[in-house]
Structure 1
């Protein structure tokens, strides 16, 4: 005889209302059951499935089950392997607690899932530039996706980061020229997840004429990226060993990307972008140490006397100065959250787009000068672009 909790699982899956189930506390300690199993809906080429994600101590495995078989598998796991489960639906979060005889206690709380998961999944995948279920060759080679287009469990954060970046790029593509080949520079490219993603979006999917240059100080990383670009057939993607401040190979660039360039290396990249007349700048700063040593103000002493608070304030002040200086030069600037702060505190992205006829803003310059004087700071970006400020600058 089917118990009430079993029938509810059958109904939730049948209606596409199970957003996620987390199974825990294995009945046996012999290792036959994963310490934790997570089930979620996933859209594949041949329709809606439920992905069973088994979390063992040293590995994570997946099994994609058809919608018709998912309820049977889930009920079987609960009856045989687990003492506890949390199931999220549009109407409630349901906790199942099993005693030694296998009898279930059912506890229901207000829902946190919010909506029908299958519908949400379809909408989310349409919005993502790199949809799960459709393998992107560079993601497969970088170990983020399987050849079948499934994202590895341990790479979910990186997958979301890449998509978030591409969404931010897509929002400003209208500012890039369309009548000629684009030149894009990625300073401090590292392993180049985002560089490859950018090339895939623009050159492969949108068939734009582009060339991208990735620059990094680490020769071994550049060798790896160059080899991968060749393997993928990305013939307009070049990787070079070099320092941002010393790079003088270009006279102009349409877009400049810099991800986690340390301290004033971010300023060097921004200065290069401005001098090249870049239409789009995407910068995620890192390790803003410079102003920590400079900032001082008696009024702010309760804040600045605490090292941790001063460090965070100095980082914010650094990026505020950078953004305002770009606005002085006619850029439209937005400060955006790049990734969930749960994963990294270095999650602020400066996105700047150049207006058609940039005009130096004296009002923004005056605003910046007051800010600078109030904090007793002299940011590197101001010095690097000294010849561009209004004549009355000090």
Structure 2
């Protein structure tokens, strides 16, 4: 088992952390700094990511301020950026995750402001490469990561295989979505994260999530890929074996046969029809802080729907009725997640290789519960408007007294 990181709980933990940050910046050994658990005055600010970069040959620190609906980028002189970080801790942020070439440090503040410093040496040195201001789009993964070669995304020289360029884009976008959700969730400061990926297929995204958690964020990760096709499970386990990635395993089954007692992150992409409902239900029942799914093949709601008189001319066309049924199905899924204590988003994602559909539902567990009375009334009104009597997810949640 890996050695547990050293923990420093003395009152000088904050100063020790800031001194390590300054040393890494001044000696060109900073990889990145992430500030999370925002408690400041800006209600929509979620986190700040800081990385070294070069602008016109001069060293700078690039700050990306992540808000709920936008990113704000700043490029500051080194001293100015360090002063800003010192101001933010702990007044605006209660967690700081520092990755240098040699070690990873995590500074946490309790509700009473007590600092705790976690320090662990990196298994392998991380080479910091300052970013040029006009460099290509930031990627959350490097093409040099071994799992990409094992899965055929890159060749033996670490170069992207041309036929895999779309897959590479999809992998990075998914990790970006996952990373933002993680920072906004109760898992932002967790040292250990468990993930279940249902319908993992060839494992591209499953490997990527595990690599991002362990290599990118320095967390301990237990990632389970669940796939119905035995040949895919064998392929993924065979690819993972020589990579020495503890905590990554693939199992044959689906969301109905593999039911974890607890999972922090539930992922289900291309879950057909009510399989999406079973996946969401599994995530909620297992106490997941993040539920991330990409639904398709909406069949349950369409036969139930009647056309409200005002919409009848539009919904007489089968294509429009199908689109309306899809919208109603996924809107209700998002609303049920809201009623179960999640903040939910529905947005477009890079389409998967086996479907042109690109909708994604992302739910992040709220820190504080809310009253559901008004929301449940809206759900009932929406169902009544379309004449919907049954929704699989609603039935599953009520059967377990979760709704």
TM-score, normalised relative to structure 2: 0.62
Deviation at 1:384, TM superposition (A): 0.6
Q: Which has the larger radius of gyration?
A: 1
Please say if 1:252 is aligned against 2:265.
no
Preserved CA contact (<8 Å) 2:336 2:394: yes
Q: 1:226 — aligned with what? A: 237
Further displaced range: 335-344 or 367-376: 335-344
Q: What are the within-5 Å matches in structure 2 for residues 119-130 of structure 1?
A: 122-124=135-137, 127-130=138-141
Give the Cα separation in 2 of the matches to 1:144 and 1:238.
Answer: 20
- Mapped to 1, the partners of 2:134 and 2:353 lie a distance apart of 22
Identify which of structures 1 and 2 has the higher relative contact order when contacts are C-alpha pairs closer than 8 Å and 6+ apart: 2
Post-superposition Cα deviations, 1:230-279, rounded to whole Å, max 9, x if no partner, equal: 1221221111111212323x221110011101111110000010011110
For structure 1, which runs of at least 5 residues remain unmatched after alignment?
A: 1-117
Q: Render the CA deviation track for 1:178-208: whole Å, top value 9, x for unaligned.
A: 3442211001111111000001101122221
Moved more, 202-211 or 334-343: 334-343
Q: Distance in 2 between matches of 1:233 and 1:334?
A: 35
Match of 1:151 in 2: 160
Aligned to 1:136: 145
Q: What is residue 3 of structure 1 aligned with on the other side?
A: none
Counterparts of 1:261 and 1:231, CA distance in 2: 30
Q: SS in structure 2 opposite 1:290?
A: coil
Question: Does residue 1:372 correspond to 2:383, yes or no?
Answer: yes
Unpaired runs of at least 5, structure 2:
1-130
Q: What's the RMSD between the two structures over aligned residues? A: 2.3
Return the offset for 1:302.
Answer: 2.3
- The match for 1:359 is 370
TM-superposed CA distance for 1:341, in Å, is 9.7
Tell whether 2:289 aligns with 1:284: no
Is the 8 Å Cα contact of residues 153 and 168 (structure 2) preserved in structure 1? yes
Q: Is 2:215 aligned against 1:201?
A: no
Are residues 215 and 275 of structure 1, via their aligned partners in 2, closer, same or farther at CA, if it must alter by over 3 Å?
same
- C-alpha distance in 2 between matches for 1:200 and 1:389: 33
Structure 1 residues 103-139: Cα deviation after superposition (integer angstroms, max 9, x where no partner): xxxxxxxxxxxxxxx9786141xx21124xx422111
Q: Is the 8 A contact 2:262 2:287 kept in 1?
A: yes
After superposition, the Cα gap between the structure-2 partners of 1:342 and 1:121, relative to the gap in structure 1 and judged at 3 Å, is: farther
Matches within 5 A, 1:1-394: 122-124=135-137, 127-131=138-142, 134-174=143-183, 175=185, 176=187, 178-248=189-259, 250-299=260-309, 300-339=311-350, 345-377=356-388, 378-386=390-398, 387-388=400-401
**Alignment-derived partner of residue 98 in structure 1:** none
Distance 1:388 1:360, change over 3 A: farther
Contact 1:135–1:147, Cα closer than 8 Å, also in 2: no
